[in-house]
Amino acid sequence: MVMTKTLLRICVVGALALGLWSGQAMAGVFNPETFTLKNGMDVVVLPNHRAPVVLHMVWYKAGAADEPKGKSGVAHLLEHLMFKGTPKHPDGEFSKLIAQHGGEENAFTSLDYTGYHQTVASDQLEMVMELEADRMTHLVLSAEDVATELAVVLEERNQRLEGKPAARLSEQAMQKLFPKGHPYGRPIIGWRAETEALSREDALSFYKDHYAPDNAILVVAGDVDVAEVKRLAEKYYAPIPPRGLPKRAPLTTDAPIIGGETVLRDDRVKQASWSEHIIQPSLTNGETRRVAALEVLSELLGSGGTSRLYKALVIERPLAVSVGTDYMASARGDGQFVFYASPRPGVSLDEISKAVRLETQRLVDEGLADGELARIKKRMLADAIFSRDAMKAGAYAIGGALASGHKLESVEDWPEHIGAVGEQDVLDALNAVLAEPRRITTKLLANGKGDGA
C-alpha cells in the first residue's frame, strides 16, 4: 500500500496535536516506554489495556526517497515481495498463520519509510514477532515472484494513479515542485518505465541495503506488558546482526521550481478543482515555534466547517463546494502548506483562487478576532484528545516521527509547543507562506474548458 502525505497527516499530525486538557498540561502525549536493543534497534511500547489486542509494527527508515537513481518504485515493490516467504515460513505461510489466529496484517510505503504491521490477540504477540524478525533477514525471492508482484504493482499504478486525473495532476505538480532529481519529485509507486524494468536483483539489493535492525523501529501497542515485550524483542530481534548503515541526510533543497502552474484536462473530470502547494519548513529544517504556528494557521484557515475559508467561500458567499488547507510537517525534507478548493457550478478556478487570496489577506490586515486563537487551540486539543485512547494513534504518530528522523520529543512535547503559539506567530507564519516563491498552482478541468473555468 502506498502511504500518501495526506494519509500520513491524518495518522500523525492529528495525534501530535494532543495536549492541554481542562487547562492543565499533560506530562506527555502518549508516555511510551522505550529501549534500544544491543544491535541498535529502537523499541517503543505503548500499553493500552482496553481490549485484549496488540498492534505490532516494524518501521524501516527507507522509503521511496531512498531508491537508487533509475530504480523508482523498488521500495514499494519490495513491500509487496516481503510477503513471499522465507525458508522457515514459505510463500503464503506468514499471512495464513495470522489469518488462522483471527489477525489482520498489511504494509505501507511512503517517501520516507516503509512499515509492516499486524493486529492480533495479545497472546499471539510472540508469533508475529517471530514471523517479522524472520523476514527481516531471510527473505527468499524467485524471478517468478518478482514478475507476479511487478504486475500487481503496475496494475495498482493504473488504478490509483493513471486512471485518476487528480492523482496524475498531483504527480505532475510534485515533479515541478521538487525538481532536478529531488526524490520527493517522483511518485512513491515509481515512474512506469523504471518500475517495469525492476528485477529480482534490484529488489534484493534494496532489501540488503536498508532492511536491518539498526535501520528499523519496533512499535508495540495495546494489551502488553513492557517487560514481556522486552523479553520477546531480545529473543527474536536482538540476535540479528546490525549493518552499520550510514545516517540518512535531510532532503531539504533550495532548487528553483520549474513553472508556477500545472493544468490537467480530462473527459472524466466531473468536479473542477484548484490547489496551491507552497514549500514551508518541516520538523527537519524549521524552528519548532514556526512549525507549531503553521499547524495552528492551517487549523484556523482551512480545517473543518468552522474555519475561515469554509465560512467565507462555502457558507457566506458562496463560491465553493469545498475548501481547506493542509500542512505537512513531518517530512524528512521540506514541508508543504497547501490551499485547495472546488468551485460551485458557474464559478471559475480563477475566482476561487482570488477569493482564497482575499480571505488570507484579510487575516493579515485585520489579525485574529478576540478569543479566536484560544478557541482554535481548544478545538485542536479537544478534537485530538480522543485519539489518545486509540491503540493505533500513538503507534503511527511515534513510528512515523522516528522513522522520518525526528526525535520522540517532537511528539511528546507537542502540546507545549502548540500552547506557546501566539497571534504574532500565526501572522508571521502566514506572511511567510504568502511570500514564499517556491510554489505550484494546480488546475483540474474537464476537456473543453478554459484555464480559469
What was the pLDDT predicted at 266? 95
Q: Which active-site residues does the annotation give?
A: 79
Q: How far is CA 367 from CA 293, 297, 374, in A?
A: 14, 12, 14
Residue at grid coordinates 473543518: 304
Query: Residue 13 above 50 pLDDT?
Result: no
pLDDT band at 259 (very low <50, low <70, confident <90, very high): low
What was the pLDDT predicted at 181? 85
pLDDT digits (tens, 9 = 90+) for 17-37: 333 333 334 446 788 999 999
Q: How far apart are CA 278 and CA 334, in angstroms?
A: 10
Query: Length of the chain in residues, anyone?
Result: 453
What was the pLDDT predicted at 264? 96
Mean pLDDT on 413-419: 86
Q: How far apart are CA 317 and CA 311, in angstroms?
A: 9
Residues 6+ apart with CB under 8 A from 347: 319, 320
Query: Residue 101 above 90 pLDDT?
Result: yes
Query: Residue 298 above 60 pLDDT?
Result: yes
Contact 328, 336 (CB under 8 A): yes
Query: Residue 412 above 60 pLDDT?
Result: yes
Query: Residue 139 above 60 pLDDT?
Result: yes
Query: Residue 394 above 80 pLDDT?
Result: yes
Q: What distance lies between CA 196 and its chain's CA centroid? A: 25
pTM of the model: 0.91
Q: How far apart are CA 86 and CA 334, in angstroms?
A: 38
Mean pLDDT of the chain: 90
Contact 436, 278 (CB under 8 A): yes
pLDDT digits (tens, 9 = 90+) for 34-79: 999 999 999 999 999 999 999 999 999 999 999 999 999 999 999 9
Tell me the three state secondary structure of residue 340: strand
Radius of gyration of the chain from its Cα atoms, rounded to whole angstroms? 23
What was the pLDDT predicted at 224? 96
Q: What are phi and psi of 387, to 5 degrees?
A: -70, -15
pLDDT band at 15 (very low <50, low <70, confident <90, very high): very low
Listed residue (294, 439, 391) closest to 11, CA to CA? 391
Query: Residue 167 above 50 pLDDT?
Result: yes
Mean pLDDT on 255-272: 87
Indicate the Cα dihedral angle 232, 233, 238, 244, nearest 10°: 170
Q: How far apart are CA 313 and CA 353, in angstroms?
A: 11
Query: Residue 11 above 60 pLDDT?
Result: no
Q: What distance lies between CA 300 and its chain's CA centroid? A: 21
Domains of the chain: 5-236 (3.30.830.10), 261-445 (3.30.830.10)
pLDDT band at 235 (very low <50, low <70, confident <90, very high): very high
Alpha helices in 303-371 (DSSP H): 308-310, 349-366
Query: Residue 385 above 80 pLDDT?
Result: no
Contact 250, 184 (CB under 8 A): no
Mean pLDDT on 277-284: 94
pLDDT band at 8 (very low <50, low <70, confident <90, very high): very low
- Least reliable range by pLDDT among 105-119, 268-282, 386-400, 403-417: 386-400
Bridge-based pairing state of the strands 273-280 and 320-328: unpaired
pLDDT band at 447 (very low <50, low <70, confident <90, very high): confident
What was the pLDDT predicted at 422? 97
Q: How far apart are CA 262 and CA 176, in angstroms?
A: 9
User: Which has more pLDDT, 382 or 163?
Assistant: 163
Q: How far is CA 370 from CA 21, 343, 373, 376, 423, in A?
A: 21, 31, 8, 12, 10
What was the pLDDT predicted at 451? 58
What was the pLDDT predicted at 303? 93
Q: Is 315 exposed, middle or buried (0-12, 13-18, 19+ CB in 10 A)?
A: exposed
What was the pLDDT predicted at 117? 98
Mean pLDDT on 260-283: 95
Cell of 14: 492529528
Bridge-based pairing state of the strands 439-445 and 261-265: parallel
CA atoms within 13 A on the CB side of 121: 7
Query: Residue 356 above 50 pLDDT?
Result: yes
